[in-house]
Structures are given as C-alpha cells and as structure tokens.
Amino acid sequence: MNIFIAGASGFVGGHLIDALLKDENKLRCLARSERTQKLLEEKGVEVVSGDITEPETLAGALNGIDFVIHLVGIMEEKGTVTFEKVHVEGTKNLVAEAKRAGVKHFFYQSALGADKSSWSGYLRTKAEAEEIVKASGIPYTIFRPSLIIGPWDGFTKKLSDIIKMSPVIPVPGDGKSKFQPVYINDWVKCMLKVIASPESFRGAFDIGGLQQLTYNEIVRTLADAMKVKKAIVHMPMGLMKFGALLAEKTISLLPVTSDQLRLLEADNICDVNSVEKSFGFKPMKYRKALEAFISY
C-alpha cells in the first residue's frame, strides 16, 4: 500500500514510521525542514517538502497515494502558528489535495474530548477538523486518543524532569481530574489494524488505556517508576497559571502550558474497554508501560 504521512517527525509519527518500515508499505512523508527531510530520507522514506498550512506546497504530493495519515497537531499556539491555522486550515488543505488525488482512505488524529462547543481552542479546532474529514466524501478513520505515552513523549519527559529537579513535586490544583494514558505501542497496534483493513475501521474511535487515573496517580506512579520518593504539593491553580504565563516567556519548568493547565481541570476519559472492543486486544497498564521505557 502507498501511504502518505503528515506529521511524521513527531512523537507518534516517528514510532509509526518505524513500525511501517518493517512491512512492505511504501511510505511518503511530508517534511517542513531540511533537517526533518534528511532524517526521514536516512530511514529510507520518500520525502516531499511542504507544509499543510501552505496549500501550494501540497500540489501533487498525494499522487498515487492510497492512504493518508494526518498526525499534524500542536498543543500550544506560538505567534502565527495557531490552532485554527494548523488544525482547521491545515486539515482543509490536506483533505482538498486528497480528494483531488483520489486517495482511498483518510486517517485523522484527533483528541479525546474534541467538541466544537468546547472552551478549549485545542479541543474545539480538533472537532472542527473532524467535521472537515467527515464531510470530505473520502472513507475515513478518526482516532480520539487520551494521553499517549512512550519513548520521546513530551509530557512524560517534562514531568520526569520536574520530579528529578524539584525538592517536591508540584501538582496543579487538586490533581483529581482523570486521564487514560495509552502506550504508544498500543496506539501503533491499533493503527496497523486500520491500515491492514481500512474498510473495517470506518468512523471515529476513542482510544484510552485500561485505567482511569487521576493526575495525582499519574504523577505518583511515574515517581515510583523512577524510584523517586518526594512529597506531592498541591499548588493553587490560579498561581500555577500565572507561573506558566511567566515561564512561557523564559524557560518553562512546568509540564504543561497555561492553556494546557485548563485541560487538567476536566476529566479526559472514555470506556476503559474502548481499545479491546474496537481493536480486539487489551492495552498495557500505565505502570507496565512506564517500566518499558523509563530510565532513572
């Protein structure tokens, strides 16, 4: 199968490419920078220079492609790189080129909690992008994952740095909001099933781990996996948001931005059996996944 990946240089994309290269799939990836292009070419991947937010750079990029995998997304806005520009306009551009090229299946990586009426710009634009994909007329698959963890994931890296460096472990607010971490290898396993049989996985799928864990439990489990014993100190959410705003103007030592702190105030969960029901296997539990890649 001829597969095109947008967002190949990211955490999820990197793991997916490594898995796909083990099979006989022909990969073509989009690269925004020369550095990314070189790294992908060294892996033996065909590379097209372009950016989903610049439609003229996508012209012809999907010719001969059967399956598009759209992983491009941002967790924070910087200057002109906004949620609207990347998630909405970028998806619109990629879908338009996919339609022109006659792509047979389109995959979009959304997010658990995506909702067009959400107060969160991140979740709102993810939902708007979903609507663009659904209205395209191309058979599609949408994943809505909770927190994805694994080697190179930014969330675990920042949080582990805080656990190592800080005399105590600061937690925004009461830390009682729940999440469902899913191991990257399990996400990849789901994706490979979709690629092997696209017609069997049409529609949108929530992707969550086996456990609904509070942020407190996530922090404590990570510290335990790192063999670090420190007190957890709950910080007033207002103070954390103010600190994040200041830190973002210098060097952020917080595991999340001020916008992401708001996401910590709401549960981000789905059916604990979502993966087994849709893809036929049980994903790895959080502690077991951490032990697979955490170094201390």
Q: Are residues 136 and 226 in the same domain?
A: no
Asked if the structure places residue 196 within a domain, the reply is no
DSSP 285: P
250 belongs to a structural domain: yes
Is there a domain that residue 77 lies in?
Answer: yes
**Residue keyed to tokens 């335990």:** 224
Model-level pTM? 0.93
Asked, for residue 160, whether it belongs to a domain, the answer is: yes
The pLDDT assigned to 255 comes to: 47
Q: Are residues 59 and 139 in the same domain?
A: yes
Choose the final residue of a domain: 126, 145, 164.
Answer: 145
Domain contains 239? yes
**How much is the pLDDT for 266?**
87
- Domain endpoint, select from 145, 165, 188: 145
Per-residue pLDDT of the chain (296 residues; tens, 9 = 90+): 899 999 999 999 999 999 999 887 899 999 999 999 999 999 989 999 999 999 999 999 999 999 999 999 998 888 899 999 999 999 999 999 999 999 999 999 999 999 999 988 999 999 999 999 999 999 999 999 999 999 999 999 989 999 999 999 989 889 999 999 999 999 999 999 999 999 999 999 999 999 999 999 999 999 999 999 999 999 887 776 666 666 555 544 454 566 777 788 889 999 999 999 999 999 999 999 999 998 75
The CATH number of the domain where 42 resides is what? 3.40.50.720
Residue 279 falls inside a structural domain: no
At residue 244, what is the residue type?
A
CB contact at 8 A, 206 and 223: no
pLDDT at 246 (0 to 100):
64
Residues 230, 106 within the same domain: no
CATH code of the domain covering residue 166: 3.90.25
Residue 206 placed within a domain: no
Q: Are residues 168 and 232 in the same domain?
A: yes
- Classify residue 9: in a domain, yes or no: yes
- pLDDT at residue 252, rounded to an integer: 46
Q: HSE on the CB side for 99, CA within 13 Å?
A: 13
CB 118 within 8 Å of CB 125: no
Domain span at residue 38 reads 2-145
* Domains held by the chain: number: 2
